[in-house]
């Protein structure tokens, strides 16, 4: 058999294009369903683990899926905004603890998540380097964000404008990195966490600027009365919050109507959760409450329904490939009749010729298998990132 393998190896090496084509076909047809299966399993694991650890989410009425994906995975699809009254409602119910989430803005393709310190406790997020959020304008980076952007505590990161075409839009905010999280192998690794108020500053609801009452530049003042001073657009707003200008930052309007994307609701117990869900079933409210586990189950059902269709397609393509490979071998047998005739004339039996062909198939399967294993290893290694990029989203930068 070793001699047959040697001859088959020489033949395969001599006919590189044919061998490479066959190996590519076999590898592809094996890798496709296996990697799809692996990615779906990983997506199921990620979706379920995250969903199971998040009891309830309150958000604006609309797509429960968008709401869940934005709250749990900081997906780019921002659901309709709600206001801080939603948080107050949960507090007043006395049935659960609310954790507001405002995942709308981005910094260098990673989501900026405005929340409170309760979020870190709720998710069990540990600070690997630096310290937690303390002051307006600070941020804590997920492990992947820090690694990919090469940022450490003491560095800064600038928020991205929502659109470059909005000349009247808000200025980017330069945020100080004060901490980096331990890797959690979840969407938290891919987020830039800021205090809720910092997120509102990014939006322009809060800002800091020179005290117009004390300004020495008269061209900045539009109108001055005994009670108030009105500045014009010349007044420059700060784009970075520092110790020196921190006190000048302030918010306008009613903080109760400041926007957030959702509220993670942590009921005191199962009963409280059930009561709370009942309350939100009331059609009069503009909020909805969703149980992420249920949403994910529905999503997975759809995904696996699509997977079944894909499996059937891959099976058909696989059969077609096997037939094509059989045809290639049948045709190559015709082309190799002279060569096989020579081998036969030299004294080779038909069984040995069959063994030579079997050895060629074995080599192709072996090389394809090795390639397949290598590719599966790569897919497995990057499955977490791939799942977040392909299935879950969230503006993942794989570069």
Partner 1 sequence: MIQINALQFNYPSADFRLSVQALEINTREKVAVIGPSGSGKTTLLNLVAGILVPEAGRIKVDDVAVDSLPDAGRRDLRITNIGFVFQDFELLDYLNVLDNILHPYRITGALKLTAEVCRRATELTERMGILSRLKHKPEELSQGEKQRAAICRALLPQPKLILADEATGNLDPENKNLILDLLFESVAEQRATLLAVTHDHDLLPRFDRVIDFREFRVTGAP
Give me the residues that bind partner 1 (CB under 8 A), please: 3-4, 6-7, 10-11, 13-15, 338-339, 342-349, 352, 356
What's the DSSP call for residue 159? P
Q: How far is the CB of 311 from partner 1 (least distance, A)?
A: 39
Name the residue nearer to partner 1 (CB basis): 250 or 345: 345
Minimum CB separation from partner 1 for residue 21, in Å?
17
Helix axes 337-346, 292-335, angle to 10 degrees: 60
Q: Least separation, in Å, of the C-beta of 342 and partner 1?
A: 4
**Nearest alpha carbon to residue 285 among 93, 99, 89, 55:** 89
Query: Measured between alpha carbons, how far is 158 from 176 in angstroms, rounded to an integer?
Result: 9
Q: Which of 83, 62, 72, 68 is nearest to 196 (CA)?
A: 83
CA 319 distance to own-chain centroid: 35
Q: Based on CB atoms, which residue is closest to partner 1, 348 or 376?
A: 348
Decide if 61 contacts 288 (C-beta within 8 A): yes
With respect to partner 1, which residue has the nearer C-beta, 88 or 339?
339
Give the residue with the Cβ less far from partner 1, 7 or 136. Answer: 7
C-beta closer to partner 1: residue 353 or 376: 353
Structure tokens at 177: 């990195």
Tokens of 6: 């040697």
**Closer to partner 1 at the Cβ: 250 or 334?**
334
Write out the H or E segment, with its range, that includes residue 207. Answer: strand 206-207
At 12, phi and psi to the nearest 5?
-65, -40
Q: What is the DSSP string of 31-43?
A: HHHHHHHHHHHHH
By the 10 Å C-beta count (0-12 exposed, 13-18 middle, 19+ buried), 218 is classed as exposed
Min dist CB 15 to partner 1, Å, is 7
The angle subtended at Cα 92 by Cα 86 and Cα 94, nearest 5°, is 120
Whole-number minimum distance, CB 300 to partner 1, in Å? 51
Minimum Å distance from CB 325 to partner 1?
A: 20
Task: Provide the minimum distance between the beta carbon of 32 and partner 1 in the complex, in angstroms, as a whole number.
Answer: 31
Pair of tokens at residue 72: 């749990």
Nearer to partner 1, 160 or 352 (CB): 352
Contact 325/361 with Cβ under 8 angstroms? no
**For residue 249, what is the enclosing H or E element?**
none
Helix or strand or coil: residue 22?
helix
Nearer to partner 1, 6 or 381 (CB): 6
Quote the least distance from Cβ 360 to partner 1, whole Å: 11
Beta strand 127-130 pairing with 96-107 = unpaired
Contacts of 248 (CB under 8 A, 6+ apart): 208, 209, 210, 211, 238
Nearer to partner 1, 170 or 357 (CB): 357
Nearest to 30 by CA among 291, 322, 228: 322
Give the residue with the Cβ less far from partner 1, 353 or 375.
Answer: 353
How wide is the angle at C-alpha 35 spanned by C-alphas 33 and 38, nearest 5°? 110
Contact residues for 72 (Cβ-Cβ < 8 A; gap 6+)? 50, 51, 54, 57, 187, 292
Question: Nearer to partner 1 by C-beta: 48 or 353?
Answer: 353
């Amino acid at each position: 058999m070793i001699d047959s393998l040697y001859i088959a190896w020489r033949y395969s090496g001599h006919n590189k294009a044919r061998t490479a084509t066959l190996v590519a076909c076999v590898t592809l047809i094996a890798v496709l369903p296996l990697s799809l299966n692996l990615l779906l399993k990983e997506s199921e694991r990620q979706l379920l683990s995250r969903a199971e650890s998040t009891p309830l989410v309150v958000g604006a009425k609309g797509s429960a899926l968008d709401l869940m994906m934005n709250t749990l995975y900081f997906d780019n699809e921002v659901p309709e905004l709600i206001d801080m009254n939603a948080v107050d409602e949960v507090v007043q119910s006395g049935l659960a603890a609310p954790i507001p989430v405002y995942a709308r803005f981005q910094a260098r393709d990673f989501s900026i998540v405005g929340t409170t310190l309760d979020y870190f406790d709720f998710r069990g997020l540990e600070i690997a380097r630096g310290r937690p959020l303390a002051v307006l304008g600070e941020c804590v980076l997920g492990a992947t964000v820090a690694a990919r952007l090469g940022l450490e505590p003491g560095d800064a990161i600038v928020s991205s404008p929502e659109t470059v075409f909005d000349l009247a839009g808000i200025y980017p905010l330069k945020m100080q990195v004060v901490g980096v999280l331990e890797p959690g192998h979840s969407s938290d690794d891919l987020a830039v966490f800021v205090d809720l108020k910092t997120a509102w500053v990014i939006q322009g609801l809060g800002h800091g600027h020179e005290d117009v009452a004390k300004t020495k530049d008269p061209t900045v003042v539009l109108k001055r009365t005994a009670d108030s001073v009105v500045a014009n657009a010349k007044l420059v707003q700060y784009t970075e919050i520092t110790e020196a200008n921190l006190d000048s930052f302030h918010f306008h309007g009613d903080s109760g109507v400041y926007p957030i994307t959702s509220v993670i609701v942590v009921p005191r117990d199962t009963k409280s959760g059930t009561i709370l869900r009942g309350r939100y079933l009331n059609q009069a409210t503009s909020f909805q409450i969703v149980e992420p586990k249920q949403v994910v189950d529905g999503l997975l059902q759809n995904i696996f329904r699509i997977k079944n269709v894909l499996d059937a397609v891959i099976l058909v393509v696989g059969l077609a490939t096997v037939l094509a490979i059989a045809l290639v071998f049948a045709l190559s047998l015709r082309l190799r009749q002279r060569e096989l005739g020579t081998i036969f004339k030299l004294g080779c039996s038909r069984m040995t010729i069959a063994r030579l062909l079997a050895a060629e198939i074995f080599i192709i399967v072996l090389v394809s298998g090795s390639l397949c294993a290598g590719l599966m290893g790569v897919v497995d290694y990057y499955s977490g990132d791939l799942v977040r990029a392909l299935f879950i989203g969230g503006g993942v930068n794989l570069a």
